[in-house]
Amino acid sequence: MEPKKSEAIILRTRDLGESDLIVTFFSSLYGNLKGLARGARRSSKRFVNSLNILSLVDLEFRERRSSELVWLDSCELIEGFPGIRSDYKLLSRASYMVEMTEILFPSNVPSPEMFQLLRSALGSISNRRDTEETLIMFQARAMKIGGFGINSSKCSLCGRPYKGKGRALFHPPSGSIVCLACEKESVLTPGMEPDTVHVLEQLQSSDLSLSTTLRFNQEILRELKGVLMAHIEHRLGKSLRSAKYLR
């Protein structure tokens, strides 16, 4: 089979036998794949220091006719994000982002946009740039890219358009905002000030690069956290194992 090349982020590795490694990676062009790196645990020139979890790499691989597992031919390190590995809190955030990526984009579903998002979010976290904001941005963008954007244009229960005035509530079952006439604010239907709804819209709609620092005040951050957690839990289930380490 023809060799394929792509940038990729290493999500997980597992030992196989005495010298091989099974590598799960999210590639820019082909999505989430698993590959066999033969001899990677012996000194192998084809994989020098590149098969570490969360590393950004250039991968060359070939598909196999009878197996889901691809052959990894070579791997070259682009960026290792060393800052993440030295800090448990940063590692927890990165693990959470990886898990969300895998749930939203399971095997063989490519999304170059999602790849770029994960890549820049890991970069920001590794440089300890506004890690809380980065996580919020990642959650909002990832859900949108995965097809689960929050609808903030109107109340999903009565249909009244939201004109950016007054508090709006987030309603997880509809993935949309609802008005105060239709629902009461609670942990299950968290509320947002107009500024928070506005920031959420920005996060979902623009091609916002994570490298430009977007700062929110504490109140917006707190509200967005509650809304996105409720949204993600409802859509992706409680299966996000790493979520508990964020609290």
Q: Which residues bind Zn ion (CB under 5 A)?
A: 155, 157-158, 179, 182
Of 86 and 186, CB closest to Zn ion: 186
Of 130 and 193, CB closest to Zn ion: 193
- How far is 175 from 29, CA to CA, in rounded Å? 29
Q: Can you name the residues that pair with 169 across neighbouring β-strands?
A: 178, 191
Of 182 and 240, CB closest to Zn ion: 182
Of 16 and 157, CB closest to Zn ion: 157
What 8-state DSSP symbol labels residue 15? Answer: E
Q: Work out how close the CB of 183 gets to Zn ion at its nearest, in angstroms, rounded to a whole number.
A: 7
- Specify the DSSP element, H or E, that contains 35: strand 31-37
Q: Work out how close the CB of 169 gets to Zn ion at its nearest, in angstroms, rounded to a whole number.
A: 9
For the CA atoms of 98, 101, 106, 111, the dihedral, rounded to the nearest 10 degrees, stands at -130
Where do the H-state alpha helices sit in 23-151? 82-85, 88-104, 112-126, 131-145
Q: How far is CA 195 from the centre of its chain?
A: 24
Closest CA to 152 of 98, 91, 224: 224
Of 121 and 169, CB closest to Zn ion: 169
